Every structure is written in structure tokens, then in C-alpha cells.
Copies of this chain bind each other. A is one copy, B any other.
Amino acid sequence: MQTRLTIKDIARLSGVGKSTVSRVLNNESGVSARTRERVEAVMQQHEFSPSRSARAMRGQSDKVVAIIVTRLDSLSENLAVQTMLPSLYEQGYDPIMMESQFSPDMVEEHLGMLRRRNIDGVILFGFTGIDEKILQPWRSTLVLMARDASGFASVCYDDEGAIQILMSTLYQQGHRDISFLGVPHGDVTTGYRRHQAYLAFCRDHDIVPNAALPGLAMKQGYDHVVEVLTPKTTALLCATDTLALGASKYLQQQNLSEIKLASVGNTPLMKFLHPEIITVDPGYAEAGRAAALQLIGQISQGQQLRQIVVPSHLQ
């Protein structure tokens, strides 16, 4: 590994002082166009790139952020992360990934490590049980995903909208006995809000609600569909595609495939395995991008902590 060039070398090679090089590097004003060009030429020619650690030490951030997902194999989170990464790279940020496995303790542990490392910011995929107190120190450098909390920046999906779209679609197709499979209310967004939206639609359209809230896992969908099925049921709305996958398996096994399925979450896997299921894309891609930009805005320009809601789209 041959020793890399430093601004000192660039300065010598282009016949200027170190600080001038530094100014060019940081796009600061106060450098004549001619000088700037010359220095830039030399830098290009030698493929110069400044030492991150040295910059970091000088107080600048070292441009590292963390993304804490609940699980690496979460289909929906993956879709958001997939757009997050390029957005972060583009701005020169290195994203390090961590897995919380839905454990508040792991989150706390990870955040501790991140603080010791002097990381710039965190994008955290929220879940039930996280104590907001431990997030407090990160208030200004944190973006919460899929969950909102007062005093924190966040990017949420439009839970109500998604459910409404799906319910309307089913309703328009003639369904009047629509059951619901969701998540307990401890989960405010995926659980409470989606369930409430379902109930609201039922109320407005004279539908008798019939819901169960087993949880997030595929198996829970599979095990608990039966509870919401009546002889009259013609459609089933699932709060997540994972639940729908589980439910679908059950319905198939029981030869109940005339029951129309709908779900929030439009993952490639779903699209392939069950294209017949009506899905809404909660805007994962857009959410990922929004979160990245929000975080960068906060840490680099002290941008205000917005609570963003991305719109859903019927597929």
C-alpha cells in the first residue's frame, strides 16, 4: 500500500499553500478561479482524495451513519434500505448496518456502541418496546422509520390511506363481508392505526367488522385466519404481506381460495407467489430516500425534525 498523497503533496505539485488546497477541497469562497482550476486539475490527475480520519479529527463529521433494521431479512425494510443506501453514498456517507431483532436491549447496546464511535446519525426502524428515553440523546441525529414520536424526525407510511385504498377496492368489487388480520395495538402504526382504519371504513360502509390481531409473523397469519372466517366472508384484508403469505397458505390448504386477499406491502416475493392478491405499495422506496435525505439534512445543516408521511399506491 503505497503511501497516499496528502494535501501537502497537492499543494507542492500545484505550487500553492496547503490551506488553498483545503479551501478548494471544501468549495470555500475566496479562491481565484484560476488557482482553483489548477489545483483541481492536479487533484484529478492524481486521483487525490482527502483522508477521512484527518477530516473527522478536525471536528468535521466522519460521515458515517448507522441503519438499524429489525431484521436483515425483513422484506419491507429491505425495500426501504435499498433506496437509502445509494442516497447516502451519493452524499458521501458510509452506512453501517445493524440488526435489532426486535429487541429494545439490542437497540440500546447498538446505540451505545455508536455513540462511542462518534457516529453522525442513525436511521432506526421502530418497533414495539423501544424506550424513547434511550433515543433522547440522538434526538437531533435520528430518523425513525415506520413509527413516529413527538420530538423526533420520522418517516411513516400512510397506514390509514393504505387500508382505505384496499378496502375501497374490495368494496367496489362487491365485497361486503371483509375480515381483517392485523397486529396488536402495542404496535401503533402497523397495529393500531391500520386496525382503526379498517374499523372506520366498516363503520362508514355498514360492514360488520371481524378482526384478529395475532402479530407480525407468517405463522401467526396461518394460525389465526380461521378465527376471522365466517361462512359469509368473501374477502380478507391483511395488515402486512407477511401475514397475507401465512393466511394465503391456510386458505389454499383448506380450499378456500375463492376468498379474495388484500394486503399492505408489495414485495417482489408476493408479486411472484401470489399475483392475485390485491396489494398496496406503502411507498417503501420513497420512504427510504426520504429518510436518508432527512437525516443528512439534519446532521449537515441542522434541518428541522420533520415527520414525513409517504403516500401509498395501489398496485
Contact = CB atoms under 8 A, between A and B. Distances in A.
Identical copies of this chain, number: 2
B219 A272 contact: yes
A218 interface: yes
A113 B116 CA distance: 25
A54 interface: yes
B85 A98 contact: yes
A96 B97 contact: yes
Looking at chain A's contact residues, the main secondary structure is: helix
A230 to B, nearest CB: 26
Contact of A82 (B99, B219, B267): B99
Contact of A62 (B49, B53, B73, B89): B53
Interface in A124-160: none
Given A51-B57, A51-B118, A89-B113, 4 more contacts: A56-B56, A73-B73, A89-B98, A218-B269
A232 interface: no
A273 B222 CA distance: 10
Contact of A97 (B4, B73, B85): B85
Contact of A118 (B52, B89, B97, B246): B52
Interface residues of A, number: 43
A273 B269 CA distance: 12
Contact of A117 (B52, B60, B218, B219): B52
A123 to B, nearest CB: 13
Nearest to A48: B116
Contacts of A72: 72, 78, 81-82
Interface in A265-315: 267-269, 272-273
Contacts of A185: none
Interface string A66-107: 000000110100110110010001000011111100000000
A79 B4 CA distance: 37
A96 B95 contact: yes
A175 interface: no
A53 B79 CA distance: 32
B249 A64 contact: no
Contacts of A97: 85, 95-97
Contacts of A49: 116-117
A52 B117 CA distance: 7
Contact of A268 (B51, B73, B89, B118): B73
A245 interface: yes
A169 to B, nearest CB: 25
